[in-house]
Amino acid sequence: MALQLAWIGLGNMGRGMCKNLVRKGHLSKPLLLYNRTTSRASDVSSEIGHSAVATSIEDAVSKSDIIFLCLGHDIAVQDTLTQATQGDVKGKLFVDCSTVHPETTDKVAKAVEAKGAYFVACPVFGAPAMADAGQLVCVLAGLQEQVDKVKPYCEGVMGRTVIDYSGSAPGKATLLKVIGNTFILSMVETISEGHVVAEKTGLGVDGLHQFIETMFPGPYTAYSNRMRSGDYYQREDPLFSATLARKDAGHAMALAEKAGVHMKNVQLADEYLKDVQDHMGNKGDIAGIYGAKRVEAGLTFENKS
């Protein structure tokens, strides 16, 4: 029997993931889309084709066999799944691609399973451009049989590879995701620091960027370009908002503290992210750490010549 898929949450990551599900996922039925802002769901549907807009969360869930979620924070995931499981969801599979605390993941998984449904955690590594290109790294955890149902939509569709925690509690996947995101935080802080020192010493950021591009192609080069170009303060919608980055940093530090470890690099990045929020508000992006370090060094937040 052909499966009906639904997708809830069309932020920077969700839009690209949906596009690749439609174009490479061999869906027999149009993908059902739901977003809190209906106009965004309509726009995405028009862009990607082979999809339809659900009128509510309940509408999307009631018509679907597999329901993907990609939401910004823990409360949104909890509230959405509470609403989604109000009706008869026996036998349905919920797949959460959000980045949340592993305790949240295990809590919502138990609540979903108590309703007779199934739950798989599927957080992803990669920037929005990687989501759009289908080059994400998907981390899967949950019952083996249910994870196997999700894999066909990951490698070669939404992602380039899978990190498989089949048979483990779903929270294992989000534990890896939270720890993994601390590498991004530290990377951005390090690049920001290097660019400011290069500028203040007279070396110049272009030469440093050439070094980065040569030695560290990929995310390092991408973030270096965002800093040099001014993208970190010019865009209306952040690619990785400072608010969500601080959420991830908070989860990581709490997990580390519980384990008897201190994450000083993460604490430092979080302090700069607070400065980014103060300067940019909701437009603040993680790459704005560069601007915060510029201010600390007696320069302007914006790298205007």
pLDDT digit string, tens, across residues 18-72: 999 999 999 999 999 999 999 999 999 999 999 999 999 999 999 999 999 999 9
Catalytic, 115? Answer no
Tell me, what CATH number does 69's domain have? Answer: 3.40.50.720
Q: What is the pLDDT of residue 5?
A: 98
- The overall longest dimension of the chain from CA atoms, in Å, is 66
Cα 138 to Cα 180: distance, rounded to the nearest angstrom: 12
User: Are 180 and 125 contacting, i.e. CB atoms less than 8 angstroms apart?
Assistant: yes
Last residue of a domain, one of 105, 140, 168: 168
Q: What is the pLDDT of residue 248?
A: 98
Question: To the nearest whole number, what is the mean pLDDT of the chain?
Answer: 97
The total domain count for the chain is 2
Q: Are residues 146 and 206 in the same domain?
A: no
Bridge partners, 37 (sequence order): none
Residue 305 pLDDT grade (very low, low, confident, very high; cuts 50, 70, 90): low
Average pLDDT over residues 75-101: 98
Tell me, what CATH number does 191's domain have? Answer: 1.10.1040.10
Q: Are residues 144 and 207 in the same domain?
A: no
Q: Which of 84, 134, 141 lies closest to 111 in space, CA to CA? A: 84
Q: Are residues 20 and 141 in the same domain?
A: yes
Print the domain residue range for 246: 176-297
Selecting among 172, 177, 247, 293, the annotated active-site residue is 177
Q: What is the DSSP letter of 98?
A: -
- Condensed to tens digits (0 to 9), the pLDDT of residues 216-274 reads 999 999 999 999 999 999 998 999 999 999 999 999 999 999 999 999 999 999 999 99
User: 232: number of CA atoms within 13 Å, CB side?
Assistant: 29
**Residue 205, CA distances (Å) to 176, 177, 181, 193, 220 in order:** 33, 31, 25, 11, 14
Q: What is the pLDDT of residue 304?
A: 85
Q: Are residues 17 and 140 in the same domain?
A: yes
Which token pair is 247? 């959420």
Q: What is the pLDDT of residue 53?
A: 98
Q: Is residue 305 included in any domain, yes or no?
A: no
Q: Is residue 302 included in any domain, yes or no?
A: no
Bridge partners, 132 (sequence order): none
pTM of the entire structure? 0.95
Residue 125: CB partners within 8 Å, gap ≥ 6? 136, 137, 139, 177, 180
Last residue of a domain, one of 137, 168, 199: 168
Q: What is the pLDDT of residue 255?
A: 97
CB atoms within 10 A of CB 49: 11
User: Any idea what the Cα angle at residue 149 is, between residues 143 and 150, rounded to 5°?
Assistant: 90
Bridge partners, 66 (sequence order): 5, 93
Q: What is the pLDDT of residue 2?
A: 87
Q: Is residue 230 included in any domain, yes or no?
A: yes
Helix, strand, or coil here: 299? coil
Last residue of a domain, one of 150, 168, 186: 168
- Condensed to tens digits (0 to 9), the pLDDT of residues 4-13 reads 999 999 999 9
Q: In the chain, where does DSSP find H-type helix?
A: 12-24, 38-48, 57-62, 74-84, 102-114, 128-133, 144-150, 171-201, 205-215, 219-229, 231-234, 242-258, 264-280, 289-296
Tokens 């596009």 locate to 19
Q: Is residue 164 included in any domain, yes or no?
A: yes
Cα 3 to Cα 142: distance, rounded to the nearest angstrom: 20
Residues belonging to the chain = 305
User: Are 54 and 39 contacting, i.e. CB atoms less than 8 angstroms apart?
Assistant: no
Residue 209: CB partners within 8 Å, gap ≥ 6? 221, 224, 225, 228
Q: Is residue 259 included in any domain, yes or no?
A: yes
Q: Which amino acid is at 151?
A: K
